[in-house]
Structure 1
Amino acid sequence: MTASLSLFPPPVSSYLSPTTAIIHLHALAHNLSALRTFLAPRCEILAVVKADGYGHGSIVIAKTLAQLGITKFGVATIQEGVALREAGLTGSIIVLGATFSWQLPDLIHYQLTPVISDADTAHQFAKELSPDQTPYPVHIKVDTGMRRLGLSPDALTSLLDSPLFQGSLVLESLMTHLADADSVDPAFTHYQLDQFQSMVDQLRLKGIMIPSLHAANTAGIVAHPQSHLDMVRPGLLLYGYQPVLPFATALDLKPVLSLVTKLAQTKSVGAGEPLSYNGIFRTARPSQIGILPIGYAHGYHRRLSNQGKVLIGNTRVPIVGRICMDMTLIDITDVPNAKVGDEVVLLGTQGKESISATDIAQWQDSIPYEVLCSIGPRVNRKYEPLS
């Protein structure tokens, strides 16, 4: 007789992935404190928690930041904003990305703040509002050189002069986005800030009130203090990293995320043997090879093949062969005591060795933002408390 399947799920520990992202919330608090010390006292912080909190888990990150006094949060999509609202976040949630007409009822229902980047969206949004929902606060984005979303100077003046802003909508903040703030040459950033200030001056001459201005992303915060204005939008900085800048800064940051897995198998191979798909690596000596249960489906990029390093037994060892969808091979010949079940650090510290998102970004010809944001839902998140 065939046994019936249980109606109850197995204990959680029996199916958790061996690969875990450990989120150090005390490091998040440290970075926020360092930022507050760096900024002028009256400069507000709009914490960017888009892309699932840069891979850290947007809900826990946002709730932790709320405990630490943050009241404004930036997301890229309405879906991200709704997820925060449904998790109980009560602060202001600003949708920084594009908004489409069919999304507007949800935006209003969940009391999200749109960033208006064109006049058509402003008109569509106003039509969706009932009288008891007006005036509805919005941020307006102007394009000063990024050439993505944003109004031109002429369109900005026309929009704010229109009847929409005499009843349906109210300007909460005017913003722009810096395209080159991490460059060794500050000229284009200065140009953008001059363009932005010129628009602000023109609006004020017309008697248009602008309650708040913001332009600075993480690179702007670090490299261009004149871009801080009334509010800044830190993203990567909160998670413990700065963009690759041509100069050092005074900010003392701690990485918030570590990525670890377990050694799944070891095997002996001879010299001259090909490893993994397409045999792009051949052993130069008799070797011990370790197999890790992580691959590009977890967000561990294929470009790390034959380039990246991991830590095992307090030793830095190389990735060998092509990274697969679910598995990665490492050379553990120089770690003779390595055994199945041993912890392997892909991002973080083990003993005196460490690997940062900046290191991984260099190995895969990318940026720390992509490294962190790529860590997918296959990877468990484990949160260490604030204290």
Structure 2
Amino acid sequence: MAEKEKYRSWVEVDLDNFNHNWDEIKRLVGREVKILQVVKADAYGHGAIEISNCALKKGAAVLGVANADEGVQLRISGITAPILILSPATDSEINEIIKYNLIPSVSDLRFARQLQKQYKKAGIRTPVHIEVDTGMGRGGTMHQEAFSTIQEILGFPNIIVEGIFTHLAASEVITGYNETQWNLFKELLDKLEANNIHIPIKHISNSGAVLNFPHFHLDMVRAGIMTYGIHPSPETETMASLAPVMSFKTRVVLIKEFPRGYSIGYGRSYTTQRSATIATIPVGYGDGYGFILSNQGEVLIRGVRAPIVGRISMDMCTADVSNIRDCRIGDEVVLMGRQGEECISANEIAERVKTISYEILCALGKRAPRIFLQKGTTGAIEPRLRRIFIPDEEKSISRIDNIIRCCFQTRAQNAEFGDAIYYEMFETLFGKEDRQLELRTNFRYDINVSDPTGQETVEPLAGDYFNVTTHIEYTKTLRNHIFIVGCATNNEQLAALFEDRRCEYRWLLNHGGDSVTERYFMVEEVRIDRQSIPIIKRENTEKGYEVWCGGEHLRGKLNRPVKVEIEIATRKSKKNNDFSVYLVYPTRGLSISFNYGGTKIKNVREVSFFAGKHPYPEIIREEGKLIKLKISENEWIFPNSGVTFIWDL
């Protein structure tokens, strides 16, 4: 069964057409201008998550949303790109803005002061875009006051003024009012530059201005409706070749013959003027197919237009198919889109009901899944539930857990076995205490084994151990500005370090003692984003040996991806001829090398145990020197994976 046959109605989103529209925009604005993809209102009804990912692949620099909730939805789906909230935010959204690293737009000093207060409390310094009202009469600080407002905001230590923008009121048509707004904005920009105030990203152009006003492009344009294949106005249709991205479809569920004089639907608003064949269609205003289309809408069946007759109900409507030969139950019905040589566009529907295409796109198919097509095949299905569900409170997390558990039960066709899979997966990923899940990428672990040299050779028992230096690096989201690198001497201490959320990295040292000294475990350097981090103190505690690192300067990097590098020096007894590396967090991409050149180690072999879609690493051997394991940066490895190197002397 084809995917679309499973659904009562569905929306097809043609990503090939979306990519084509993007190519047109890039042709119009050139390589030097950034493009912000507008994905507010669920990407104008198309499905914000898939559209965002597609736009980012095409080169989108920023994603634009209407509110914090929309930004949160993108973040929890795994999108890390800059997300700009285009509308004025509320004070209640500031916590979400901070937590999910969103960029707010600022329209007044009062809100800027609230941001500064909350940013300072959170210990972060983060960007904003200033909106200026040059004639839209909606969001933005008034253009007469904008210069002094910006000057004051620039004095807030925790706010970075990254961008400045205004919104055109009538860009879809060429009028003098657009030039008036442009001149007001340009005067402000010139004044800022004259006063050595340099704001990196300046933007004014929406889709209409991209087409009508090339000299407005500045540093970035905000592409919305045209990326979805809709021209802002008939006047722009010759300026770019755009292809509609969305189609709304359903199927005939019932066909009946009625005599002349039979009333159809609520209110008896339509009465057959002759004997008629009427098809029932399972779509109504509850699906976004507006009540206003009653007795005036049209649909396509077998490539022929059929008029909507009678009132549109919440869940159904009816079409006269008397003129459609061989119309049958199950026939595809196109409410918006192309079928054969005929096409019903969003602009046509909008003109029929005296509204705009934006409203049609955002409303159509409210209950319908989005089926994403690429190269003629289904690439993804986005159910409505996923588009509206944003976990927030603890009860939402519990709800997610129950959904996952039920999915395993259904897939295994056995509740007990499904639970066993669920609990094993849950404990593997989160631990018994439901610890916070951390994701790490580009994990690198370089082990260098050498014999003692220089002064070390005169130490007692110097010939009984190897020196081991280990370089560890990975990318992750920084959670603590002061953190621990810990070393345990037994499993109880190791478990305690895992429970401490401040512990960034943990090491298990089997050296036969209850305490650790720098002779056996030495953190030589810690770097964040290639900058050396101060080591605050080193101490033995009940949890083991703790090396405290960090400082206030790291607060600005909290909740953002950073590259972590740790250099550790240890000693290893020659009586133990193995060295193990374990992964305790989901990791994407890794490189683990064991370098033993210059020692008497021989016959080195590895025993690896990796869990993931492709669990077999690439192995590189240089006899007498090193052995390296690599897994592609695009592949995930799950916890409880690792490798043990074994050798002979």
Give the structure 2 partner of residue 197 of structure 1.
186
Aligned partner of 1:89 in structure 2 is 79
Equivalent position SS for 2:129: strand
Task: Please identify, of 238-247 and 356-365, the stretch whose mean Cα deviation from structure 2 is larger.
Answer: 238-247
State the distance in 2 between where 1:269 and 1:299 align. Answer: 28
- Residue 227 of structure 2 is matched in structure 1 by 238
Summarize deviations over 1:171-197 as a string: whole Å, max 9, x none.
1111000001123x5111111001111
Q: In structure 2, do the counterparts of structure 1 residues 163 and 172 end up closer, same or farther at CA, with 3 Å as the change threshold?
A: closer
Amino acid at match of 1:229: L
8 Å contact from structure 2 (residues 28, 210) kept in 1: no
Q: Per-residue CA shift, 1:279-322, capped at 9, x if unaligned?
A: 22222211000010000010001111111111101111111111
Does residue 1:51 correspond to 2:25, yes or no? no
- Aligned equivalents of 1:61, 1:228: Cα separation in 2: 23
Rounded Cα–Cα distance in structure 2 between residues aligned with 1:15 and 1:152: 53
When structure 1 is superposed on structure 2, of 267-276 and 70-79 the one drifting more is: 267-276
1:299 aligns with 2:288: yes
1:126–1:28 CA distance, 2 compared to 1 (3 A): same
Q: Report SS of the residue matched to 2:155.
A: helix
Is residue 79 of structure 2 the alignment partner of residue 127 of structure 1?
no
RMSD: 2.0
Secondary structure at the aligned position of 2:141 is classed as coil
SS at match of 2:322: coil
SS for the counterpart of 2:279 is: strand
Amino acid in structure 2 at the alignment position of 1:199: L
Q: Who is 1:5 aligned against?
A: none
1:315 is aligned to 2:304: yes
- Per-residue deviation at 1:153? 2.7
Local SS of the residue matching 1:129: helix
Tell me which of the two structures has the higher relative contact order, counting C-alpha pairs closer than 8 angstroms and 6 or more residues apart: 1
Mapped to 2, the partners of 1:204 and 1:336 lie a distance apart of 68
Identity %: 36
Please tell me the residue identity of whatever aligns with 2:209: G
Q: Secondary structure at the match of 1:192?
A: helix
What is the match of residue 314 of structure 2? 325
**Counterpart residue identity of residue 303, structure 1:** I
Residue ranges of structure 1 left out of the alignment (5+ in a row) = 1-10
Q: Measure, in 2, the Cα distance between the counterparts of 1:163 and 1:171.
A: 8
Cα distance in 1 between the residues matched to 2:220 and 2:87? 18
1:144-293 equivalent positions in 2, closer than 5 A: 144-162=134-152, 164-183=154-173, 185-293=174-282
> Matched residues in 1 for 2:241 and 2:4: separation?
39
8 Å Cα contact 1:119/1:155 also seen in 2: no
Q: Please state if 1:367 is matched with 2:356.
A: yes
Q: Secondary structure at the match of 1:148?
A: coil
What code does the residue aligned with 1:361 have? A
Which structure shows the higher strand fraction?
A: 2
Q: Which amino acid aligns with 1:212?
A: I
How far off is 1:160 after superposition?
A: 2.0
| Per-residue Cα deviation, 1:181-230 (whole angstroms, up to 9, x for no partner) | 123x5111111001111111222222211212101111111112122111
| Structure 2 gap segments, 5+ residues each | 377-649
Aligned to 2:404: none
CA deviations on 1:127-157 (whole Å, 9 max, x unpaired) are 0013775431110000000000110134322
Alpha-carbon distance, 1:346 to partner: 0.9
| Aligned counterpart, 2:91 | 101
Contact 1:217 1:233 (C-alpha < 8 Å) held by counterparts: yes
In the TM superposition, what is the alpha-carbon distance from 1:13 to its structure 2 partner?
7.8
Match of 1:341 among 289, 310, 330: 330
Aligned mate of 1:31, from 21, 26, 40: 21
| CA 1:63–1:381: 2 relative to 1, 3 Å | same
Residues 386, 74 of structure 1: alpha-carbon distance in 2 compared, 3 angstrom cutoff: farther
Q: Is this contact kept in 1: 2:258–2:277, CA < 8 A? A: yes
TM-score, normalised relative to structure 2: 0.56
- C-alpha contact (below 8 Å) 1:17/1:378 kept by paired residues: no
> In the alignment, which of 322, 336, 346 is matched to residue 357 of structure 1?
346
Q: Does 1:76 align with 2:39?
A: no
Q: How many residues align?
A: 376
Shift of 1:25: 0.8
Query: After superposition, what is the alpha-carbon deviation per residue over 1:211-259, rounded to whole angstroms, capped at 9, x for unaligned?
Result: 1210111111111212211111111101001112435433111111111
8 A contact 1:123–1:164 mirrored in 2: no
